[in-house]
Amino acid sequence: MNHTMELVIGAIFINNILLAKFLGNCPFLGVSKKMETAVGMAGAVVFVLTLAGMITWLVEHYLLAPFGIEYIRTMAFILIIATLVQFVELFLRKSIPALYQALGIFLPLITTNCAVLGVAIINIQEGYDLFDAIVFSAASAAGFGLALVLFAGIRERFETIRVPKQIEGTGIGLVTAGLLALSFFAFKGMI
């Protein structure tokens, strides 16, 4: 149990995939301009990332490893993730239209979100078992969501401050992300 706690806290606070591992930065800067979209994106990522973490682990251990063809992992995983995202989109649209309305428009963005592929590969590289892989995936996604929502909250305030024209937009966004990352350093002592 202790190990699981460590995994969760580590993934959310200490090695936050956005701020410490630099995964998923494109949507981070893209959809963080409004709190509403940030929350939608965070929800979609938690959902897809957990599913993808589980399925890719299964594929790795029951398909690639037995044949000894781990080197095509990248290709296999991305194909699976793309399929998964597409499938989720189709499924949600039909079965849970309300959820689709809230999260659906972010799903295409997730295919190219390196956080998903990145976490899937980390799961394998770190040698997690299935349970750990799922926990780690979900925790990483939660960390992503946390950082995204926090950042959106800060960024909404940008609208009301004067920023030098040259670093308006992405520039000041990156600097702020740096400061946010710095504040996450404070969690280092937790474990």
Partner 1 sequence: MSASRLVKEFSKGLWREIPPFRLVLGLCPALAVTTTAENGLGMGISATFVLVCSNGLISLLRKVIPNEVRVACYIVIIATFVVCVEMITKAYFFELSESLGLFIPLIVVNCIILGRAEAFAKKNGVLLSRADGLGMGLGFTLALTGLGAIREFFGAGTLGLVFGEQVFFDQPFAFLQQAPGAFVALGLLLGLMNLVGGSRGR
Partner 2 sequence: MGISALVMLGIGLGAAAILAVAARVFYVKVDPRITATEDALPGANCGGCGYAGCASCAEAIVAGKAPVDACIAGGPEVAIQVAAIMGTEIGVAEPRTANHFCTGGDRAERKFHYEGALDCRALFDLHGGDLRCKVGCFGLATCVRACPFDAIVMGPEGYPEVSAEKCTGCGTCERVCPTKVIQVFKLSDRLMHFNNDHECLPPCRQLCPAQIDIPSYIDLATKGQYAEAVDVIKERNPLPLICGRVCPAPCEAGCRRVAIGDEPVHHNYIKRFVADWEMHHPQAPPVISPETGKTVAVIGGGPCGLSAAYYLRRLGHRPVIFDAKPALGGMARYGIPEYRLPKKTLDFEIDEILDLGVEVRCNQQMGRDFTIADLESEFDATLLAMGAWDNSSLRCEGEDLDGVWKGTEFLQKRELGIKVDLSGKRVVVVGGGNTAMDACRSSLRMGAGEVTLLYRRTRKEMPANQVEIDAAEHEGVKYHLLAAPKRLIGDEKGKLTQIEYIKMELGEPDASGRRRPVAIEGSNTLMDVDVVIAAIGQRPLKDWYTKDLEERGLKLTRWNTIEADEKTLQSDVPHIFTAGDLWSGPALLIDAIGTGRRVARSIQRFLLGLDLGFPEGTFVGPQKLAVSNLVPVLGVGPRVRVSQPELQVADRIKNFEEVDLVVSPESMRDEALRCMRCGTLCYFNDEQRDAHLSGRPLRKKVGELLQNSPTLR
d(CA 81, CA 57): 12
Of residues 2, 1, 5, 20, the one with CA closest to residue 122: 20
Q: Which of residues 123-142 bind partner 1 (CB under 8 A)?
A: 125
Interaction mask 145-164, partner 2, x per CB under 8 A:
--------------xxxx--
d(CA 92, CA 95): 5
- Shortest reach from residue 4's CB to partner 1, in Å: 23
- Shortest reach from residue 127's CB to partner 1, in Å: 15
Our CB check for partner 2 shows the closer of 72 and 174 to be 72
Residue of the chain from 14, 48, 51, 122 that contacts partner 1 (CB under 8 A): 122
Of residues 42, 31, 28, the one with CA closest to residue 174: 28
Residue of the chain from 5, 26, 58, 83 that contacts partner 2 (CB under 8 A): 83
- Shortest reach from residue 79's CB to partner 2, in Å: 6
- Shortest reach from residue 155's CB to partner 2, in Å: 14
DSSP state of 1: -
Residue of the chain from 10, 40, 145, 173 that contacts partner 1 (CB under 8 A): 173
Residue the block writes with tokens 């630099």: 22
DSSP state of 34: S
Q: Please give the backbone phi and psi of residue 90, each rounded to the nearest 5 degrees, phi first.
A: -60, -45
